[in-house]
Amino acid sequence: MHFRKRAAEASETQGSVSSVVADILTDVQQHGEVAVRKYEEKFGGVKRPQLRVSEQELDDAISTLDAETKGLIETTVARVIRFAEAQKDCLHPLEETFDDGIVLGHRFIPIASVGAYVPGGRFPLLSSAAMVVAPARVAGVPRIVACSPANYNNSIHPAVLYGLKLSGATEIYAIGGAQAIAMMAYGMEGIAPVDFLSGPGNRFVAEAKRQAFGDVGIDLIAGPSEVLVLADETGDAETIARDLLAQAEHDPFARAILVTTSDQLADDTITAVERVLASQPTTWPAQASWLQMGEVVVAASLDEAIDICNDYAIEHLHVQTKEPRALVERLTNYGSLFLGEQSSVVFSDKVSGTNHTLPTKRAARYTGGLWVGTYLKVVTHQEITGDGTQFLARHATRQSQIEGLVGHEMSAAVRLLTRQI
């Protein structure tokens, strides 16, 4: 294995982000809306009469959208809902008898309230609202609080608002950044805190979710975007270059990586990427992303390339080899898998139906992405009677005696027909 190009070191330290976020979370907990408004003005220059988006504001914003834009959003929401419903259909409650008198089972219960963060960022991402909110709606979450930055005429972009409405948000607030996470996690005047936070965001949003975890649940720490293209000598450099840059344009710290078994493809892809970058403005986020975070790795064999992919545990893994399906069982660590040159990651970003809120920074080693099951609690139950009670009571009594747990022993033994207290 050798590198044609390797990522540079990121300049911003995590420590500075953590400190800033900790101050924001504490301030919002102590001072509520006053603190939220302070940070909205400080970081976004935002001053709104009401932080919550009213029905009138929502309707007025949506009325500015043309039919084509609304149609695109409607298609995306419908496809995300359809896939989430199919996933939910795979989940079944369980109740079975495990020996006489021992009935065990589980149920799926929707989380009562969810805080959904939808990034504003550099572009109004038309599909982000659907990805975060629609699965919660399908899961049956009754209260879905959505926050997104007021970076469009002192409000949320109309396309994002339309997506939030269609997807099922029950409350919408024009608040961004760590202060939005703090407001949802801890509440403020007249607004109850949520039980769970979901959705991607920048480093400050991700760190706020990390610090709030425990007080509330979280889906995962997502972002910045990552893509790894796995290609052999059959890969097309021009296509791969565009696939890499599509994800690189999300953020200057996004990661775009090629792992290939072909020296020629490695060189050709670097040339193609540089040619595309030369044709774009220097302010394009992909410029900084490729300079700081871009990598091209040449593996000695396909086996080594697969090992590299599993070690990177990347968010989007795009297989562009001669027989991509032959590799599926050997690829185990990724957020979402894209098989074949035609399966662009952009399709999932926008409209295919799978969720684009996915694990980054090697979290794919232990978790998948956001899905309808994220919003469902799997809770167990049991009913023990008759012979089952006697069997379990004898076992639990003796085990408790060995462990020295007197209270456990008494609770088990009191249920024996022949008391052993």
191 backbone dihedrals φ, ψ, rounded to 5°: -130, 115
User: Residues 78, 153: one domain?
Assistant: yes
In a domain, 319, yes or no: yes
274 shares a domain with 202: no
pLDDT digits (tens, 9 = 90+) for 314-324: 999 999 999 99
Last residue of a domain, one of 171, 200, 218: 218
CATH of the domain at 27: 3.40.50.1980
- The DSSP letter of residue 156 is -
Is position 205 within any domain? Answer: yes
Shared domain for 78 and 138, answered yes or no, is yes
For 43, the token pair is 């970081």
Q: Is 178 helix (H, G, I), strand (E, B) or coil?
A: helix
pTM score of the predicted model = 0.92
Cross-strand partners of 146: 116, 172
316 is catalytic: yes
**Segment 382-411 mean pLDDT:** 97
**According to the model, what pLDDT value does residue 120 have?**
84
In a domain, 4, yes or no: no
CA distance 192 to 142: 14
- Residue 403 falls inside a structural domain: no
Q: Is residue 377 part of a domain?
A: no
User: Is residue 145 classed as helix, strand or coil in its secondary structure?
Assistant: strand
Rounded mean pLDDT of 125-153?
A: 95
Claim to verify: residue 37 and residue 141 sit in the same structural domain: yes
Catalytic residue among 316, 318, 356, 409: 316
Provide the pLDDT for residue 421.
45
| 330 located within any domain | yes
- Asked if residue 229 and residue 214 are part of one domain, the reply reads no
One domain for residues 258 and 355? yes
- 199 and 62 inside one domain: yes
Distances 119 to 48, 122, 250, 298, 401 between C-alpha atoms, Å: 19, 9, 11, 35, 56
Q: Which of 355, 360, 367, 29 is nearest to 178 (CA)?
A: 29
CA dist 39 and 199 (Å) reads: 20
Clarify whether residues 56 and 195 are in a common domain: yes
Residue with tokens 């590198």: 3
| pLDDT value, residue 203 | 87
Are 144 and 276 members of one domain? Answer: no
Beta bridge partners, 394, equal: none
Average pLDDT over residues 68-82: 97
72 domain residue, yes or no: yes
Clarify whether residues 236 and 312 are in a common domain: yes
- Same-domain status, 132 and 79: yes
Q: Which of 185, 218, 251 is the last residue of a domain?
A: 218
Please tell me what DSSP assigns to residue 354.
Answer: S
Q: Which of 40, 226, 295, 315 is catalytic?
A: 315
User: 312 and 186: one domain?
Assistant: no
Domain final residue, candidates 328, 344, 368: 368
CB 125 within 8 A of CB 160: yes
DSSP letter, residue 309: H
Per-residue pLDDT reduced to its tens digit, 256-290: 999 999 999 999 999 999 999 999 999 999 999 99
Range of the domain at 197: 14-92+111-218
**The predicted structure's pLDDT at residue 419:** 57
| Nearest-angstrom CA–CA distance, 263 and 249 | 26
| Cis peptide bond upstream of 252, omega within 30 | no
Short-list 348, 352, 274, CA closest to 318:
348
**234 found inside a domain:** yes
> E-strand spans in 267-404?
295-298, 314-320, 334-339, 376-384
Q: Domain tally for the chain?
A: 2
Residue with tokens 């009670």: 389
